[in-house]
């Protein structure tokens, strides 16, 4: 998802990774806060993210990756 229509893609990054669960909706709460709904009757991976500081990874791999550590302040993942 892009926050801007700028032609320069150098600032584009993934902030949310999860499987598709059936009910999806994206809504900007303000310029930096994105509400992502992704759920069904068995799984709910909905979350509100500050896109400047946070990412969500449904598998938790990004949160464990040393390569990704400089790309976010807080990495969120489902509790196991």
**What pLDDT, on the 0 to 100 scale, is given for residue 2?**
47
What single string gives the DSSP state of each residue in the chain? Answer: --S---S-GGG----EE----SEEEEEEEETTEEEEEEE-SS-B--EEEETTTEEEETTSHHHH-TTTGGG-SEEE----
Sequence-distant (≥ 6) Cβ neighbours of residue 28 within 8 angstroms? 34, 35
Instruction: Report the distance separating Cα 77 and Cα 34, nearest Å.
Output: 16
Percent of the chain scoring above 90 in pLDDT = 51
Q: What is the pTM of this model?
A: 0.76
Instruction: Report the distance separating Cα 74 and Cα 52, nearest Å.
Output: 10
Mean pLDDT of 4-25: 80
The pair of three-digit structure tokens given for residue 6, joined into one six-digit string: 């700028």
Percent of the chain scoring above 70 in pLDDT = 85
Q: Could you tell me which residue, 5 or 33, shows the higher pLDDT?
A: 33
**What pLDDT, on the 0 to 100 scale, is given for residue 1?**
45
User: Does 10 score more than 80 pLDDT?
Assistant: no
Q: Could you tell me which residue, 37 or 5, shows the higher pLDDT?
A: 37
């Amino acid at each position: 998802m892009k926050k801007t229509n700028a032609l320069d893609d150098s600032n584009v990054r993934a902030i949310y990774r999860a499987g598709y669960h059936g009910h999806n909706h994206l809504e900007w709460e303000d310029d930096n806060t994105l509400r992502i709904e992704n759920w069904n009757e068995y799984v709910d991976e909905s979350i509100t993210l500050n896109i400047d500081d946070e990412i969500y990874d449904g598998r938790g791999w990004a949160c464990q990756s040393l390569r990704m550590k400089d790309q976010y302040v807080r990495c969120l993942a489902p509790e196991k």
